[in-house]
Amino acid sequence: MRSRTRLLGLLCALPLASAGCKDEAPEDLIRSETTTEALVFVKTRATETLNRNWEEGNLYKLSPISPEGRVTPLTDFVGASISDPCVSFDGKRILFSMRPEGGQTRNIWEIGADGSGLRQVTRGGGHDFDPLYLPDGRILFTSSRAGEMDEYNHAPAEHLYTCGADGGEVERISFNQSDDFDPVLLPTGRILYTRWEHFGTMNRFPLFETNPDGTGTFHSFGPHERNFFHPQPTPDGRIIAIESTEVNGDHGPVAMLRPERGPADPAASGHDAHWNVLTAQIDPGGAPWDHGVFKYPHPLGRGKYVVSYSLPAASEEEVDYGLYTFTADILEGEAGAADRFEIRSLTFLYDDPEMNEYDAQLIAPRTKPPVIPSSVNRAVDHGEFLAQDVFNRGTEDGQERPLRGEDPIERIAVMIARPTGVGEMNDISANEFEKRAFLGYAPVESDGSFRIRVPADTPLAFATLDEQGRGFVVKRTWIYVRPGEEFNRCTGCHEDRVEGGLHPTNPNPLAALRSATDLNVRPENATVINFRDDIGPIVEAKCASCHHETYVDRDSTLADGTVVAVTDTIPPPAELDLTAVPDTLDRMGRVFPRAYVSLSGESERMEEQVVVPAFPRRSRLIDAVLGLGAADVPHPGGESILNDAEKELFNLWVLLGAQYR
């Protein structure tokens, strides 16, 4: 057990930037402010990651906010798992997530700030987390009740939902294919949250924004190489969060984000211009944490914050999160440089060495943001996207950049997600891509704009196509529209979005004057193109007769003059065995036909990739099929030559991720 004296001694030794160390929080932190008399927090035995904590815990109150403050339980359940407190605007009630002892589901509950009036808000469905009070009296929360699995772990995926104050009128408002979590209400009335984006080999956790009805969903902050968790708006209009480079790790250093300098996507002018890491010694890449690690920063007012912090730990099992306070001071930058933030007075507040303390926040009245009226039109089943300029894009995401006047872009291909359900077999693919379907093509105007009508509440992506119909730039973010929504914030494809907001290169697009291309196809009627049903039969009929191993018997003379019969194995052409013989992957031990393994199996690990899933222009298979690049003529030839429809199938199969089924 670690005593408070040992905690303070180790804390004083930490080389945090400009950190001070005191025996007590200064004057009860903010004793003179009547609105900051108490904190609510979660105390639990387990560590948690991305809402994955099922161990016993309860809500506690600390009053006053001081190391000498009194800690009392707000809930006193045995065997219940509790997380995610949220204080009401008047400071009198608290929402939280709980699975009662013996319960099968986790739901949203409410209790008075004095521990009275416990009631259950949501019921049934999947597991509910992250409740928020909305200004119009409704409640927002995250839930896995849709029964969809995320695209990485195939664990239940959480999405954003709203309901009435009584738990009725539940409505899903986000349609990502992996988790949406950690929502927080912004002063504007919009919702900021962490979004898990796993599109093939891309795996990141940027911050997104949306309206409370799910309209206007758009990337808010975060480059490709950094993740941000537990965001909270600060009184000066910035965002404080936890920075990380881990896929499933929401712990790391504290960072102050600068949304006024752009969304850091890309962070073209360097990280310091877009965010400051306040605790630079903390490793964002996971254990061991030689200088400790942080979670859940929350503003207290006057530049002061409360945070969950663990002293140095060698592994996740060794962390012991307690509550600490700190001040984030603004340091004036040199001429022409941005001001910086640094932590001062990191101070011990409370720790039970047998438990972890998480997600502390004020029990106090706060300003209610404005109500954003819903614009969802429930009388229709579609929405529209207007993109201004496909030539307006940066290159920081590793994809090519089509040049206006040199690279004709005349159409796009639109695809939708096919969610994986509970209990579905994990034989979707041998690579990192999940199930997708082809919705259709849409024309691109001469100025680079396009307009499409698509099914509402359906995750979709698109790719600009070159003259051969190959994907030039592939959008690797799932986007969607709510019923009746007309989304027109796309000024480009991964365009440079910097200080001052979006910089449109085509503010009056031709597509705005045209009717939208109608791709409002019901998701279940979209075209599925996979190896099992579409590509495999073509390969079997036109490729396998040549692409297989052959065996030649011959005599061989040994050193002693003995003649023996041996069999030589001649590898298939281009080292591609395209037979249907079952083959087992090294990865996860799944079995696929050898033809599929040769073309796409574990393709990200192959030294010579024949197929680069989602990128036909980088795939040698497509060059061979179309007779491009090193392939002088289309392959196969002769009587096995592919017709135009078959060539298109191969092209779209790769674009959709080269999936097996």
Report d(CA 487, CA 495) in Å as an integer: 17
Residue-wise pLDDT for 231-267, tens only, equals 999 988 899 999 999 888 899 999 999 888 888 876 6
CATH number of the domain located at residue range(s) 382-525 in this protein: 2.60.40
Q: Assess whether the previous peptide bond of 483 is cis (omega < 30° from 0).
A: no
Pick the CATH number of 4-362 from 3.30.470.20, 3.40.50.720, 3.90.480.10, 2.120.10.30: 2.120.10.30
How high is the mean pLDDT of the chain?
87
Strand partners of residue 209: 192, 218
> What DSSP string runs through 29-48?
TTTT-GGGS-EEEEEESS--
Q: Distance from first CA to last CA of the chain, Å, rounded?
A: 53
138 vs 131, 168, 176, 230, 256, CA distance in Å?
10, 10, 22, 22, 30
Query: Is the pLDDT at 14 greater than 50, yes or no?
Result: no
117 vs 7, 75, 92, 391, CA distance in Å?
37, 11, 11, 57
pLDDT reported for residue 6: 41
pLDDT reported for residue 92: 97
Helix (H, G, I), strand (E, B) or coil at 11: helix
Residue 499's closest CA among 325, 274, 654? 274
| pTM (2 d.p.) | 0.91
Residue the block writes with tokens 């506690």 = 60
Amino acid 405 reads G
Residue-wise pLDDT for 318-365, tens only, equals 999 999 999 987 766 555 556 677 787 899 999 999 999 999 999 999
For every residue of 518-546, which 3-state class applies, written as one string? ECCCCHHHCECCCHHHHHHHHHHHHCCCC
Domains of the chain: which residue ranges? 4-362, 382-525, 531-548+575-655
Residue-wise pLDDT for 359-380, tens only, equals 999 999 999 999 999 999 999 9
Report d(CA 355, CA 486) in Å as an integer: 49
Number of helical (H) and strand (E) elements in the chain, helices listed first = 6, 40
Confirm if 380 and 484 have CB atoms less than 8 A apart. yes
Helix (H, G, I), strand (E, B) or coil at 392: coil
Higher pLDDT, 280 or 137: 137
Helix (H, G, I), strand (E, B) or coil at 102: coil
* Mean pLDDT computed over 469-475: 91
Per-residue pLDDT band at 91 (split at 50, 70, 90): very high
209-220 burial: b if 16+ Cβ within 10 Å, else e: bbbbbbbbbebb
pLDDT reported for residue 396: 63
For every residue of 47-76, which 3-state class applies, written as one string? CCCCCCCCCCEEEEEEECCCCCCEEEECCC
Residue-wise pLDDT for 144-196, tens only, equals 999 999 988 888 999 999 999 999 999 999 999 999 999 999 999 999 999 99
Query: Is the pLDDT at 632 greater than 90, yes or no?
Result: no
Query: Is the pLDDT at 390 greater than 70, yes or no?
Result: yes
Residue-wise pLDDT for 646-659, tens only, equals 999 999 999 999 99
Residue the block writes with tokens 């994809």 = 399
Tokens of 135: 């200004």
251 vs 129, 243, 308, 342, CA distance in Å?
18, 7, 10, 19
For the chain, the farthest-separated pair of C-alpha atoms sits apart, in whole angstroms, at 102
Give the percent of the chain with pLDDT over 70.
Answer: 88
Report d(CA 472, CA 483) in Å as an integer: 30
DSSP 501: B
Query: Is the pLDDT at 28 greater than 70, yes or no?
Result: no
The dihedral formed by the CA atoms of 438, 443, 447 and 452, expressed in degrees to the nearest 10: -60
Helix (H, G, I), strand (E, B) or coil at 28: helix
Query: Is the pLDDT at 133 greater than 70, yes or no?
Result: yes
Conformational region of residue 356, where left means phi above 0, alpha means psi within -120 to 50, and beta covers everything else: beta
555-593 burial: b if 16+ Cβ within 10 Å, else e: eeeeeeeeeeeeeeeeebebebbbbeeebeeeeeebebb
* Mean pLDDT computed over 112-123: 96
Per-residue pLDDT band at 516 (split at 50, 70, 90): very high
Report d(CA 149, CA 420) in Å as an integer: 5
pLDDT reported for residue 339: 67
Tokens of 113: 């700030």
Residue-wise pLDDT for 535-587, tens only, equals 999 999 999 999 988 877 777 877 778 877 777 778 888 888 899 988 876 65
pLDDT reported for residue 622: 94
